[in-house]
Amino acid sequence: MLNEYFSSVDLLVLKPAILLTLFAIGVLLTDLMLEPEQKYLNAVMALAGVGFAAYSLGPWPLGLQHQMGMAGADALEAFRGAVIVDSFGIYFMWLFLIAAALSILISIRYLEIEGEHRGEYYAIMLLATVGMMILAIGMDLITLFMGLELMVISIYILTGYLRRDRRSNEAALKYLLLGAFSSGILLYGMSLLYGLSGSTDLRIIASSISQRPAGDPLVLIAVITICGGLFFKIGAVPFHQWLPDAYEGAPHCVTAFMSVGPKAAAFALLIRMFLVPLASVRDVWLPLVIGVAIATMTIGNLAAITQSNVKRMLGYSAISHAGYMLLGIVSGNENGLKGIMIYLMVYAFMNLGAMAVIVAMRRKDIIGDEIDDFAGLVYKSPTAAVLMLIFLLSLAGIPPTAGFIGKYFIFLSLIETGHYGLAVVAVLYVAVSLYYYFQIVTSMFTREATDNVVPALSPGIRLALGVSLAMTLFIGLYPNPIIEVAGNTVASILR
């Protein structure tokens, strides 16, 4: 015990976040001393920060507990219950660190081409990761909101990082205005929860919500506003309008990061809110989630068909993936939640892989994010084309890639809970998604190349592609380890 306010557990629980913050500040300062051609050292330092944070998390999946000599404990509570580190939080922290590391790897050459290679970028990315971690382990409304704001404000800045590019500026402004609005709605819902229970602790809120009479209008308003805010953050219809614009306008590497990290963090918050404070009013939010999930899959998949810009198409595909993941919340049983956890991890690898190929397409004077830019890619760079094919197959959910495992568990849970209609709709939309993913594939394999500029696979991109490919295939072919880890994780939050 340090004193009556802080204990050593508090420091230990926050160690990954503290390390990332220190490295973020360090990157800012060392950047001032680096010559323009040495800027890649910023990325090295940021990667070192991610590495140290991962090391401090300890061995998968319950490292922190082992460090504290509390191997049997399910969860560590810190800051008087405001932060709780269970295997759910650790799983998500690993996911965020993986997303941050891969995004940093693919950023280096892209930023050099754009002429915006500065330490701020990596510092902000690390701080966004800190925000996500707090979202995954927070157990208190104020803590959660602080984490959320730290994450989204960092992402707003990264979206507008290309100062000279008007698309980037416009995307950032749209995202900022709509995001601030949705944060306000979410905060309104949180204030209602506080008003109903007199506490910001999620568990105390849960017990006082469960004592309210059924059909209480205040609970209804709280649920609706909180759902609205959360649905915005995961990009679900009808709060999806910002997402394609932000994805298209942001720098390629930021699109990669924001499509994986913040999305997973928003899902962590959503699962926590639905399973702890709002668990007793499942009847209220279930119809909402079902309707939103169907609308999200519909709009996401159908709108993706007409896109000619690959980043925008992946934006709509990200919307539809959020719809599939919401189905896991609808079924709400162990397999459904397990499906969401696996889906998020798998999505991180396959989407970052696909985005890494798009980043490699960015060369001097070529933006490289239109479907036409992919024409005849197989003749110019067979490696890039085949990699893209594998990642797209995985995004569509075709075995033996990892995307199949995520979808399998979610569809299985729908059948288990008797949502046969939803399962049929979801499978039909998988067929639709194949169509638009294969627009890229046909462009790559059957059309003539329009230019001879080969995609530039820098060492960082090679490494990121290698890791993404290995994990996409490994999870697809031998999914047992991740199923086991996700199973433990879900068991820790369902108890």
Q: Per CB under 8 A, which of residues 72..101 are in contact with other proteins?
A: none
Answer yes or no: are the C-beta atoms of 48 and 14 closer than 8 Å: no
Q: How far is the CB of 163 from other proteins (least distance, A)?
A: 7
**Sign, CA torsion 332/333/336/337:** positive
Residue 28 or 146: the one with the smaller Cβ distance to other proteins is: 28
Q: How far apart are CA 297 and CA 275, in angstroms?
A: 23
Q: How far apart are CA 255 and CA 250, in angstroms?
A: 6
List phi, psi (to 5°) of 370.
-95, 155
Binding region for other proteins (CB under 8 A) out of 56-64, 163-171, 183-191, 289-297: 163-171
Burial class (CB in 10 A: 0-12, 13-18, 19+), 72: exposed
Q: How far apart are CA 271 and CA 261, in angstroms?
A: 15
Binding region for other proteins (CB under 8 A) out of 198-206, 305-313, 327-335, 340-348: 305-313
Q: How far is the CB of 363 from other proteins (least distance, A)?
A: 22
Residue 152 or 196: the one with the smaller Cβ distance to other proteins is: 196
Residue 203 in tokens: 């568990």
Q: How far apart are CA 421 and CA 429, in angstroms?
A: 13
Q: Quick check: 446 binds other proteins (CB under 8 A)?
A: no
Q: How far apart are CA 98 and CA 131, in angstroms?
A: 15
Q: How far is the CB of 309 from other proteins (least distance, A)?
A: 6
Q: How far is the CB of 78 from other proteins (least distance, A)?
A: 17
Q: Quick check: 25 binds other proteins (CB under 8 A)?
A: yes
Q: How far apart are CA 411 and CA 211, in angstroms?
A: 33
Q: What angle do CA 5, 146, 168 make, to 5 degrees?
A: 150
Binding region for other proteins (CB under 8 A) out of 24-32, 94-102, 317-325, 434-442: 24-32
Sketch the per residue contact string, 210 through 249, with other proteins: x for CB under 8 A, - otherwise.
--------x-------------------------xx--xx
Q: How far apart are CA 159 and CA 165, in angstroms?
A: 11
Q: Quick check: 369 binds other proteins (CB under 8 A)?
A: no
Q: How far apart are CA 307 and CA 255, in angstroms?
A: 17
Q: How far is the CB of 301 from other proteins (least distance, A)?
A: 13
Residue 168 or 413: the one with the smaller Cβ distance to other proteins is: 168
Residue 25 or 470: the one with the smaller Cβ distance to other proteins is: 25
Binding region for other proteins (CB under 8 A) out of 84-92, 161-169, 346-354, 472-480: 161-169
Residue 399 in tokens: 């075995």
Q: How far is the CB of 488 from other proteins (least distance, A)?
A: 36
Size of the site for other proteins (CB under 8 A): 25
Answer yes or no: are the C-beta atoms of 260 and 198 closer than 8 Å: no
Find, among 146, 168, 434, 165, the residue nearest to 269 by Cα.
146
Q: Which of 8, 210, 306, 450 binds other proteins (CB under 8 A)?
A: 306
Residue 3 or 452: the one with the smaller Cβ distance to other proteins is: 3
Find, among 352, 372, 337, the residue nearest to 467 by Cα.
352
Residue 248 or 373: the one with the smaller Cβ distance to other proteins is: 248
Binding region for other proteins (CB under 8 A) out of 160-168, 331-339, 354-362, 378-386: 160-168
Q: Quick check: 439 binds other proteins (CB under 8 A)?
A: no
Q: Which of 67, 169, 383, 417 binds other proteins (CB under 8 A)?
A: 169
Contacts of 260 (CB under 8 A, 6+ apart): 99, 103, 347, 348, 351, 352
Residue 70 or 146: the one with the smaller Cβ distance to other proteins is: 146
Q: How far is the CB of 289 from other proteins (least distance, A)?
A: 23
Q: What angle do CA 437, 257, 135 make, to 5 degrees?
A: 120
Q: Which of 74, 112, 170, 416 binds other proteins (CB under 8 A)?
A: 170
Residue 364 or 495: the one with the smaller Cβ distance to other proteins is: 364
Q: How far apart are CA 213 and CA 375, in angstroms?
A: 61
Residue 215 or 421: the one with the smaller Cβ distance to other proteins is: 215
Q: Per CB under 8 A, which of residues 29..48 are in contact with other proteins?
A: 29, 32
Contacts of 418 (CB under 8 A, 6+ apart): none
Binding region for other proteins (CB under 8 A) out of 130-138, 164-172, 349-357, 483-491: 164-172
Sketch the per residue contact string, 254 through 293, with other proteins: x for CB under 8 A, - otherwise.
----------------------------------------
Q: How far is the CB of 367 from other proteins (least distance, A)?
A: 13
Residue 218 or 477: the one with the smaller Cβ distance to other proteins is: 218
Burial class (CB in 10 A: 0-12, 13-18, 19+), 226: buried
Q: Quick check: 303 binds other proteins (CB under 8 A)?
A: yes
Q: How far is the CB of 25 from other proteins (least distance, A)?
A: 5
Paired residues of 366 in beta bridges: 363
Residue 384 in tokens: 């890039």
Q: What is the DSSP string of 401-455?
A: SHHHHHHHHHHHHHHHTT-HHHHHHHHHHHHHHHHHHHHHHHHHHHSPPS--PPP
Contacts of 342 (CB under 8 A, 6+ apart): 405, 406, 409, 475, 479, 482, 483, 486
Binding site for other proteins (CB under 8 A): 2-3, 21, 25, 28-29, 32, 163-167, 169-170, 218, 244-245, 248-249, 303, 306-309, 312
